[in-house]
Amino acid sequence: MFARTAIRAAIRPASLTQRLGYATAATSSPAHFSASAVDSMNPHGLEISRAQRIAEDGLVSAIGNTPLIRLKTLSEQTGCNILGKAEFQNPGGSVKDRAAKFLVQDAEDKGLLKPNGTVVEGTAGNTGIGLAHVCRSKGHKLVIYMPNTQSQGKVDLLRLLGAEVYPVPAVAFENPENYNHQAKRHAERLDNAIWTNQFDNIANRQAHIETTGPEIWAQTEGKIDAFTCASGTAGTIAGCTRYLKTVSEGRVKCYVADPPGSIIYTYVSSGGQMTERKGSSITEGIGQGRITDNLKPDIDLLDGALHISDEKSIEMVYRCLDEEGLYLGASSCLNVAAARDLAEKLGPGNTIVTILCDGAYRYADRLFSRKWLESKNLVGAVPEHLHKYIVLE
């Protein structure tokens, strides 16, 4: 082992060894080690570490402060600077950790949720996972209602994280048996319990006014020209739009991205005159059939909307993996496709930021399955040279 180490040291470029100034098996004296020399090799990383410090309040204080990643290929192709906020690096793996933290904290601050309380939510996705992590960290119980059309894997994951899960028949929001309404009634039956109501509880939007928006502005040093992302609960698009429009005095352009089967694109494009809803989408957690309370205060601040087809989203799943090494879910890649389209719309020289909501880990059995892609008529959306990534049957 020591012989191999000595050989590696011997063949290492002299300039690198000299710059690092560290000890090797061949030169093991502590006098050869220079901490300052090592530190000088990673000044940016150390600056970030000092700013982040220790997450003194446990998991909840580790949420946020995610990196902003330049998407090199798309930036070069469009002549713009396209940046993605790496929300998949949150402790629970998605942007929804931010909303989960603020929804629970807001209830605690208002005295609605006391120690050892119960949090109830209707969710089929990342908000439930975020809430599960936050509730365990804070000592609360979590109850989740979800449509029984969701995969067993989602149910199992939430139960593994300590949640009590109730899969119920999938019915329209207008039906009193909709999973959201059942969650509300469940919370009302309990003492020291809250229904977090992620769609219409504006603590969700506040999370992005206080954290995501300011982080983007600071990371770009105010050199941001446009922001885009999709709307589900609308907390992210509304909160970021409100903050970025305010701090830039209206200069930053904000566009909502929308998948098929949602009314947001037609509503924004028509100035609120149309709510046409056509088709359906493979994306999860985004698109909406109504204007949520999170979106209402800020919808008039939007500069426009971008319709993103499933074909564009799927193409970008594979492109991000191949070109950027980013393993992203379909909703993240819808956002990336929207950023690309917005770059083409605004022209070269602009800096455009979007949200990389989560990774592909929870969706791999579909996104990289030939059988599933064929069932959705989406195999053709994957560029031919990227078919090598379709590795599942």
Helix axes 126-138 and 96-109, enclosed angle (nearest 10): 50
Q: What is the largest CA-CA distance in the chain?
A: 76
278 given a catalytic annotation: no
In the set 85, 96, 253, 312, the catalytic residue is 96
C-alpha angle 141-234-328 in degrees, rounded to nearest 5: 80
Residue 132 Cα distances to 57, 103, 112, 126, 162, angstroms:
17, 12, 18, 10, 7
Instruction: Give the Cα separation of 155 and 132 in Å (integer).
Output: 12
Instruction: Give the Cα separation of 88 and 96 in Å (integer).
Output: 10
C-alpha angle 163-198-145 in degrees, rounded to nearest 5: 35
Instruction: Give the Cα separation of 83 and 128 in Å (integer).
Output: 27
Helix axes 152-160 and 126-138, enclosed angle (nearest 10): 10
Instruction: Give the Cα separation of 20 and 165 in Å (integer).
Output: 53
Instruction: Give the Cα separation of 65 and 48 in Å (integer).
Output: 9
231 given a catalytic annotation: no
Catalytically annotated residues = 96, 331
